[in-house]
Structure 1
Amino acid sequence: MRILIVILTLTIPGCLFAQSYNALLIPDSLKKDARAVVREDEHILEIKSPSKVILKEHRFYTILNEDGDYLGDFATFYDKHTSINSVTMTLYDATGKELKHVKKKDMEDKSAVSEISLMDDSRYKEYNFYYKLYPYTVGYEEEDEISGIQGFHGWQPLASTKVSTQHSKYVIIAPKDYVVRYKAVNCNYEPVITISGDKKIYTWEVSNLPARTLESHGPRWNEVMPHVLMAPSDFEVEGYKGNMSTWEDYGKFINQLRQGRDALPEDIKRKVHELTDNLKDPREKVYALYDFLQKNTHYISIQLGIGGWQPFPADYVATKRYGDCKALSNYMIALLREAGITGKYVEIFAGEEAPKLIEDFPCSQGNHVISCVPMGKDTIWLECTNQTKSPGYMGSFTGDRKALLIDETGAHVVSTPSYTARDNTAVRVVNASINGEGNLDAEVSTIYRGIPQEGPHGLMYGASDEQREKYLNSLFHLPTYKVEKSHYDEEKGALPAVKEYLHVVSPNYANITGKRLFINPNLFNRSNYRLPKDSTRQYDYIDDEAFRNIDSITINIPAGYQPEAVPQDTHIDSKFGKFTASVKVMPDKILFYRSWEESMARFPPSDYEGLVKFYEQLYKADHNRIVLVKKE
């Protein structure tokens, strides 16, 4: 009976807190800098077994202005493993008076399948009150039954930027002998643990957290917000049993999912040998098979059932000629194995804004799978979902981050290639002419290498005429210009390059005032970046790009002009970056040279004033003009 009373109390938030949602009662400290206030946010996670969880959520948000409306747009997802037992929404006005109450049957039911998904059983319930009289409050109450535990919802008491929290609570009810794993991040929140019969109850609770804001080029939200990660120890999904307590155990579970899924059809085996038997260098064999993969498969998302974790068999991919990241990587590894080469399966967070792998908290982390081939002291990394990427190149999508390499002994934390300023380069040579009317005609040749080549690389493969035109029209910061001709060549490799040739014309580029001609010699690569002054900077300034740009420009000028004013050369060599701009005016032409190099770095708030000055110097140097005067 005591167990029932404890659990019953936990599942009825109204027993614990007065149900008053009058917005006028919100303390001023919680409204400061806030677009919304979390009035109550309670999660109760009951672990029934390693394969079954009940999740109950009770959330009430007061929306203070239009920026907070997104919290009133409700959506909850379900699939084969998640059933929505019940869900309701309630709308309250500023005084806390109930205006509308909707149930599960009133909500729209939609498919969550994307355009690139072939197999996906995900669906979602959605509802929006579209209420605009501020402040107003929206409440959500939901109970889900989850079969096949793949992870636990963590506790995040601050929902997002500019949202304060009046009260947040997270409860886990587990069998007494079940190991609940958790890790506090950016906080020291520890649970209150109680024993009730054969149950162990973990409770985290916090109140009155003011709203927080992020800063330009500062840490991401998950790097500064207080939160607690949760993960299972023992778990089971569709009959597959595993444990996440160590990376070794987690990797063994992934191996279990992949077991028996690497068999190739006989015709594909013959093709592998046809492509590789006459090649002596293992690298050449890898490149040949990767090229075969790219030319004979394409990416399709598969999220059906356990498909979010388990790759489709290699023979399925060979026959259908498509697969998701897991299936294509698994297929690539099977091709390599047939050629006598060992490939590895790698889980990773992909994308430029991807979170970092948390190395000391084993659990399911990542949203993507790639493969790699260890080669002694070197490794060939392979992105198997891209039909045009060079072998060995990870770039901005999966480069410079930690990942999980899965082998027969488990999972191991590894690092993908990083790209320095010497790798990420854009070297431009310009031969231009300006006539007596100020019109510019320029031949522009640029070699992009590393991450800078990704834009023009995408332009070369599959871009529509509209996309190409949009790219070319946004390439330069000029009032008016037209690209009359463009041409691209590619150099494949672990550090690929794209050579770009453009013929550019810009009418009235140079300003003419009386007998004077005003010319900015930096034709195509001006920095417009300036930092606002901020004496209250809280967080580090993060420079997450490494690059080196070099521009060598020759401008032929009309006859009869001589220099009246020439900007001084600029040379900066600081911890923030290196910059050089020099100009020389000759009788018939202007020679301009510019170099700008930055490395990835993190600067404390005390350096912010120096950063403001650094970028201000660059801005001025890039916008300096030469004044030429016509000879009498």
Structure 2
Amino acid sequence: MKQILILLLCAVSSNLSAQSTEELLQKYSGETGVYTKDYHYVNIYYEKGALKASMDVEQEIMLIDETRAAALSVETVHDSYFSTLGKLEAATLIPTAKGFKSIPTTNIKTSPGTSGHVFYDDTKEKEIYYNNLSKGNRTSLKYTQHFRDIFLMSKVFLQNYLPTEHQVVSVTFPKSVKISEIFKGTDAPWLQKTVKENKQTITITWEGRQVPKAKFYADAPAVYYYLPHVFFLVQEYTASNSDKPVKVLSNADDLGRFLFDKVKNINQATGTDLKAKVKELTTGISNDKDKARAIFEWVQEHIRYIAFEDSLGGFVPREADVVFQRKFGDCKDKSSLLVMMCREAGLDARYVWIGTRDLPYSLKQTPMPGAFNHMIGAVKIEGQWVFLDATDNVTPYGSVPYSLQGKDAFIAHDGTDYEIVTIPVKNASGGIIRDSSYVRIENNMLTGVVHSDFKGYAAWEVQQHLMYMSEKDKEKVFSAITSRGNNKYAQKSFDYVLEKDKQKSLHINASFELKDYIKNVGDDYYINMHLLKPFADGKIETQTRKAPVNFDFNQTLQYTVVLEIPKGYKVSYVPDNEEHNFKGLGAYRVSYQQNGTLLTLKSEFTFEKLMIEESQFKEYNLMIAALQKAYKETIELSKIK
């Protein structure tokens, strides 16, 4: 196998079009750097009768802009229980008349990983520090990753944050192995596919040249939605000493066996203290719903969430009794405790594997562990599954964090019996903000008070931010929430109430002054009563953008502004009432009404689309244009003569 790899590497190197350093510097002028090489070779092979997998990586980056050398001077490679790092070579390549002078890198530091993915294990980061990096020099990195489990091979991205001069991705596997190639993200038209076979193996190669650099967007979902990348899944294989195929990951049944194998041996018995706590929480409660709620709320409040995984701890939950005694754990640990406590209370509770909305993968299309990065629990109440995610300290019983909406939940019964349930997406009533401003004109500025009510996801999102803040920092948050009109907004006072009821609503009150907002021309006042303008700057660039636009949750925004008409003035102009519906997105309604000395603007915006795909960009921009037009309207107050 190694001989085949060496030959393949030599073949690729010999076919590269020779370009001088000066040619590349000119070609990529204006860039920080360019990947001159980006090669990933996945190898699937037998070792002592067992199927193994590894990946050889070779990358070179040329520095183009010397003022940004710091951006390329440090590189990170991950090493973990499931993906162990083999031989690593790093160097700085300095161009000479005869080729390159290689200066090996010796400054390599190992530190704990910082990934937010829950199912990562004991990841370590190797930080590689390059010396002698100046314009035209290259960083050179070569390493091998050995995958401990063929279920858990890494994805390979087909586009980088820098342009790439030459890219190669290949997979080599024995003919007795059946694999599937799963591409995700946007298309990668720069790649050309070839397939080569010999007596024993098949090699599939994708090769590209002049690959454009990736574009990133602050309002896009995670990069997995739009950066092209590929998975290689082993579906089945036939060992040399057997005629019977071994199933690996050909469908959800195979995935179910893999997942249940990780939990089948835990929580075989309940400890005395844990039994006593369940009894204490459920005594006097007769219905299953209230039992589950009492257990969930106790775990949510009393078990701290700490993400830590070590080797198989990346997939195997800890014993419920251990979590109960420690009073902390990661998502799997809290799920282990929840499930065990619910079962002790006589409830039908199960483990649930799920991917957050950071991952775009569907279990029907990609039945693999990589489709998950989270674990929760589920309990069946009156024939319906209620999902329990106690890692979120705010979201109440009966709801799930907005990051799980629309995702496939894999509910394990045993190794062969499971359910895949798609968690519903809440409509616009799932996140509601009702905001009222009561204003008057004083000393040629607006003064007033604000009353804001947040419900559902709108409330829970704010409460998550507030959880570990000082009162001073909270004041800054509430000032940002109540701010309106222009940047001269000054908050004079504020208070807030976090409801302790089942829905955990949030109420904010504030008083304010707003200078330089009213336009005074002669005896007339011109006032834009749209003190808040949601989505005002949201127009999408449609010429080159391929990434979708992401929203945390569907929402209803109801804004009311009540203006006290000054004594001696009348309303001489009010904009027309408007109502717009935007196909597949939502609706906007605005109305003005005068009642004696009060003029009221009511605007309501409902938005019901978590992700705006490229096919909806045009309609979305029409919606933004309509909103921008409405937001420009002003009322006119004239002095009574």
Short-chain TM bin: 0.7 to 0.9
Assess, with a 3 A threshold, how the Cα gap between structure 1 residues 568 and 412 changes in structure 2: closer, same or farther. Answer: same
Q: Distance in 2 between matches of 1:541 and 1:85?
A: 37
- What residue in structure 2 maps to residue 183 of structure 1? 182
Code of the aligned partner of 2:20: N
- Give how far 1:336 is off: 0.8
The reply to whether residue 22 of structure 1 matches residue 17 of structure 2 is no
Between 1:41-50 and 1:247-256, the stretch displaced more is 41-50
- Give how far 1:308 is off: 0.6
Q: Distance in 1 between matches of 2:638 and 2:436?
A: 27
The reply to whether residue 6 of structure 1 matches residue 20 of structure 2 is no
- What residue in structure 2 maps to residue 231 of structure 1? 233
Assess, with a 3 A threshold, how the Cα gap between structure 1 residues 469 and 132 changes in structure 2: closer, same or farther. Answer: farther
The reply to whether residue 126 of structure 1 matches residue 124 of structure 2 is no
- Give how far 1:133 is off: 4.8
CA contact (8 A) 2:224 2:359 kept: no
Secondary structure, aligned partner of 2:428: coil
Secondary structure, aligned partner of 2:257: helix
TM-score computed with the length of structure 1 as normaliser: 0.85
Code of the aligned partner of 2:569: Y
Q: Deviations over 1:424-450 (max 9, x none)?
A: 2212233333324324121x2232223
Q: Distance in 1 between matches of 2:459 and 2:212?
A: 40
- What residue in structure 1 maps to residue 490 of structure 2? 481
Q: Distance in 2 between matches of 1:418 and 1:361?
A: 21
Q: How many residues align?
A: 613
- Give how far 1:137 is off: 3.1
Secondary structure, aligned partner of 2:395: coil
Q: Distance in 1 between matches of 2:524 and 2:8?
A: 80
RMSD: 3.7
Code of the aligned partner of 1:42: Y
Q: Output aligned runs, 1:149-168, within 5 Å.
A: 149-160=150-161, 163-168=163-168
Q: Deviations over 1:467-490 (max 9, x none)?
A: 312312222243222150211232
Q: Which of the residues 550, 559, 572 maps onto 1:551?
A: 559
Q: Distance in 1 between matches of 2:560 and 2:626?
A: 20
CA contact (8 A) 1:394 1:417 kept: no
- What residue in structure 2 maps to residue 595 of structure 1? 604
Q: Deviations over 1:62-94 (max 9, x none)?
A: 454578975663111223454433222233468
Q: Distance in 1 between matches of 2:132 and 2:600?
A: 61
Q: Distance in 2 between matches of 1:510 and 1:12?
A: 73
Code of the aligned partner of 1:414: V
- Give how far 1:342 is off: 1.3
Between 1:567-576 and 1:259-268, the stretch displaced more is 567-576
- Give how far 1:346 is off: 1.4
Q: Distance in 1 between matches of 2:145 and 2:468?
A: 43
- What residue in structure 1 maps to residue 577 of structure 2? 569
- What residue in structure 1 maps to residue 366 of structure 2? 361
- Give how far 1:319 is off: 1.4
- Give how far 1:200 is off: 2.2
CA contact (8 A) 2:493 2:511 kept: yes
Q: Deviations over 1:88-136 (max 9, x none)?
A: 2233468896465224x4312223268999x974322212437775555
The reply to whether residue 519 of structure 1 matches residue 531 of structure 2 is no
Assess, with a 3 A threshold, how the Cα gap between structure 1 residues 120 and 614 changes in structure 2: closer, same or farther. Answer: closer
Q: Distance in 2 between matches of 1:532 and 1:52?
A: 46
Q: Distance in 1 between matches of 2:232 and 2:510?
A: 56
- What residue in structure 2 maps to residue 42 of structure 1? 39
Q: Output aligned runs, 1:69-88, within 5 Å.
A: 73-88=74-89
Secondary structure, aligned partner of 2:625: helix
Q: Distance in 2 between matches of 1:111 and 1:420?
A: 40
Q: Which of the residues 614, 630, 634 maps onto 1:621?
A: 630
- What residue in structure 1 maps to residue 512 of structure 2? 505
Q: Deviations over 1:455-504 (max 9, x none)?
A: 332255333224312312222243222150211232654xx352313122
- Give how far 1:585 is off: 4.2
- What residue in structure 1 maps to residue 169 of structure 2? 169
- Give how far 1:275 is off: 2.2
TM-score computed with the length of structure 2 as normaliser: 0.84
Q: State the identity %.
A: 16
Q: Deviations over 1:288-327 (max 9, x none)?
A: 1112212331111221111111111111111111111111
Q: Distance in 2 between matches of 1:619 and 1:299?
A: 43
Q: Output aligned runs, 1:104-503, within 5 Å.
A: 105-112=106-113, 121-129=122-130, 133-134=134-135, 136-160=137-161, 163-174=163-174, 176-185=175-184, 186=187, 192-196=195-199, 199-208=200-209, 210-211=211-212, 214=215, 221-233=223-235, 243-262=248-267, 263-350=269-356, 353-364=358-369, 365-408=371-414, 409-442=416-449, 444-458=450-464, 461-475=467-481, 476-477=483-484, 478-479=486-487, 480-490=489-499, 492-493=501-502, 496=503, 498-503=505-510
Assess, with a 3 A threshold, how the Cα gap between structure 1 residues 606 and 328 changes in structure 2: closer, same or farther. Answer: closer
Q: Which runs of 5+ in 2 are unaligned?
A: 238-245
Assess, with a 3 A threshold, how the Cα gap between structure 1 residues 435 and 589 changes in structure 2: closer, same or farther. Answer: farther
Assess, with a 3 A threshold, how the Cα gap between structure 1 residues 39 and 613 changes in structure 2: closer, same or farther. Answer: same
Secondary structure, aligned partner of 1:159: coil
Assess, with a 3 A threshold, how the Cα gap between structure 1 residues 420 and 70 changes in structure 2: closer, same or farther. Answer: farther
Q: Deviations over 1:327-373 (max 9, x none)?
A: 1101110001111111121112225x433335223211211111111
Secondary structure, aligned partner of 1:60: strand
Code of the aligned partner of 1:555: L
Assess, with a 3 A threshold, how the Cα gap between structure 1 residues 310 and 234 changes in structure 2: closer, same or farther. Answer: farther
Q: Deviations over 1:208-239 (max 9, x none)?
A: 2541655866786544554331134579xxxx
- What residue in structure 1 maps to residue 242 of structure 2? none
Secondary structure, aligned partner of 2:154: coil
Q: Distance in 2 between matches of 1:310 and 1:458?
A: 28
- Give how far 1:454 is off: 2.5
- Give how far 1:40 is off: 2.3
Code of the aligned partner of 1:374: K
Q: Distance in 2 between matches of 1:355 and 1:377?
A: 29
Q: Deviations over 1:139-189 (max 9, x none)?
A: 2111234434451123433235x6345231323344x53443433444697
- Give how far 1:539 is off: 4.3
Q: Distance in 2 between matches of 1:229 and 1:459?
A: 35
Q: Which of the residues 103, 113, 121 maps onto 1:101?
A: 103
Code of the aligned partner of 2:525: L
- Give how far 1:385 is off: 1.4
- What residue in structure 1 maps to residue 243 of structure 2? none
CA contact (8 A) 1:526 1:623 kept: no
Code of the aligned partner of 2:598: K
CA contact (8 A) 1:32 1:210 kept: no
Secondary structure, aligned partner of 1:463: coil
Assess, with a 3 A threshold, how the Cα gap between structure 1 residues 172 and 579 changes in structure 2: closer, same or farther. Answer: same
CA contact (8 A) 1:565 1:626 kept: yes
CA contact (8 A) 1:11 1:44 kept: no
- Give how far 1:416 is off: 1.4
